[in-house]
């Protein structure tokens, strides 16, 4: 298989127009790439596209870009509900955190794309090797783990699984730099680096809350006072209470049900009640 060089990247497709996908598509268009933003739900693509427009308007207000540049960036993004639009040089997957769904998606993408197209996954916790193992040309599967909000946070973990070729990891590393990011190369493991360490920043505060030791506000303000930029509950609301729970469940399983990653019953209850955080207007806080 020919490896794709970063110079050969013209078109990028982003699959999943939720919290992460819309920010990632914005970055790609800002960097000058022809971009497709796709979702299975029509309302999700509409919401994603609105969010990009809103983020860019803030950029205009802050005089970081001109109105003309904003329109140019928007003109590079094709909002799509048609799977056939996902033929691209690089595809960045940002669908829900579920191994079966991600594998199924990449199998379908492999059927319509060239062998040298690169498949990136924004998974937070699932090993890249597991996602790649049943995909044709698995050397093209690379972890490209952005942080929330994707259009602002600098860090991107570039994750190489057992099959990932060095060339493809390098190409995606260079792409991340073109997107204005500060990437780091990481070897494959559940949760990679940041989420493996950071998960305890969520699971322990949830235990403290469930044990009625302190309130949401107290725990958040205490951690801010001790030097963190944001408290854990405000952060879970920003990530999405459901998205955050999915990552905990995934790590719990991948670390052989180690109790330090045990999902919280309270968080499950909130997801069942539709309290998903900022994106639904209510989570640990009201928005």
Ligand X SMILES: NC(=O)c1ccc[n+]([C@@H]2O[C@H](COP(=O)([O-])OP(=O)(O)OC[C@H]3O[C@@H](n4cnc5c(N)ncnc54)[C@H](O)[C@@H]3O)[C@@H](O)[C@H]2O)c1
Which residues are at the interface with ligand X (CB under 6 A)? 15-21, 39-41, 44, 94-97, 101, 105, 122-124, 146-148, 239-240, 243, 247
Burial class of residue 225 in the structure, from the number of CB atoms within 10 Å of its CB (0-12 exposed, 13-18 middle, 19+ buried): exposed
* CB nearer ligand X, residue 59 or residue 149: 149
Looking at 195, 246, 250, 264, which residue is catalytic?
A: 195
* CB nearer ligand X, residue 21 or residue 138: 21
Residue of minimal Cβ distance to ligand X: 18
Looking at 22, 113, 122, 124, which residue is catalytic?
A: 124
Q: Smallest distance from the beta carbon of 90 to ligand X, in angstroms? A: 16
Phi/psi for 169 (5° steps) reads -65, -40
Q: Tell me whether residue 145 is one of the annotated catalytic residues.
A: yes
Looking at 97, 117, 145, 250, which residue is catalytic?
A: 145
Task: Give the CB-side neighbour count of residue 196, counting CA atoms within 13 A.
Answer: 14
Q: Smallest distance from the beta carbon of 69 to ligand X, in angstroms? A: 26
Q: Smallest distance from the beta carbon of 6 to ligand X, in angstroms? A: 22
* CB nearer ligand X, residue 21 or residue 283: 21
Q: Smallest distance from the beta carbon of 14 to ligand X, in angstroms? A: 10
Q: Tell me whether residue 134 is one of the annotated catalytic residues.
A: no
User: Of 154, 160, 15, nearest to 84 (Cα)?
Assistant: 15
Q: Tell me whether residue 93 is one of the annotated catalytic residues.
A: no
Q: Tell me whether residue 43 is one of the annotated catalytic residues.
A: no
b/e 265-287 (16+ beta carbons within 10 angstroms → b): eebeebbeeebbbbbeebbbbee
Give the integer Cα–Cα distance in Å for 31 and 52: 14
* CB nearer ligand X, residue 153 or residue 213: 153
**Which helix (H) or strand (E) segment is 119 a member of?**
strand 118-121
Looking at 117, 151, 157, 246, which residue is catalytic?
A: 157
* CB nearer ligand X, residue 154 or residue 166: 154
Q: Smallest distance from the beta carbon of 80 to ligand X, in angstroms? A: 10
| One-character DSSP codes across 167-193 | HHHHHHHHHHHHTT-EEEEEE--TTTT
Task: Give the CB-side neighbour count of residue 85, counting CA atoms within 13 A.
Answer: 17
Catalytic residues, by residue number, are 124, 145, 157, 195
């Amino acid at each position: 298989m020919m490896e794709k060089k970063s110079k050969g990247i013209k078109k990028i497709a982003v699959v999943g127009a939720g919290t992460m996908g819309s920010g990632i598509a914005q970055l790609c268009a800002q960097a000058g790439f022809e971009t497709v933003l796709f979702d299975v739900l029509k309302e999700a693509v509409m919401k994603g596209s609105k969010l990009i427009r809103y983020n860019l308007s803030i950029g205009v207000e802050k005089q970081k870009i001109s109105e003309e540049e904003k329109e140019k960036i928007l003109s590079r993004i094709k909002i799509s509900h048609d799977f056939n639009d996902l033929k691209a040089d690089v595809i960045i997957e940002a669908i829900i955190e579920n191994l079966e769904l991600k594998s199924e998606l990449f199998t379908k993408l492999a059927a319509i794309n060239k062998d040298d197209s690169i498949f990136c996954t924004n998974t937070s916790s699932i090993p890249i090797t597991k996602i790649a193992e049943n995909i044709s040309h698995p050397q093209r599967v690379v972890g490209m783990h952005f942080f929330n909000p994707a259009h602002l946070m600098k860090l991107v973990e570039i994750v190489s699984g057992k099959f990932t070729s060095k060339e493809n990891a390098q190409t995606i590393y260079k792409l991340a730099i073109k997107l204005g990011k500060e990437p780091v190369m990481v070897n494959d493991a559940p949760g990679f680096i940041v989420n493996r360490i950071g998960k305890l920043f969520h699971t322990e505060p949830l235990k403290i809350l469930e044990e009625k030791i302190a309130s949401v506000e107290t725990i958040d303000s205490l951690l801010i006072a001790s030097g963190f930029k944001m408290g854990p509950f405000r952060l879970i609301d920003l990530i999405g209470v459901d998205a955050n729970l999915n990552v905990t469940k995934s790590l719990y399983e991948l670390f052989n049900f180690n109790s330090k990653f045990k999902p919280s019953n309270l968080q499950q209850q909130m997801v069942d009640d539709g309290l998903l955080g900022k994106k639904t207007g209510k989570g640990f806080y009201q928005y």
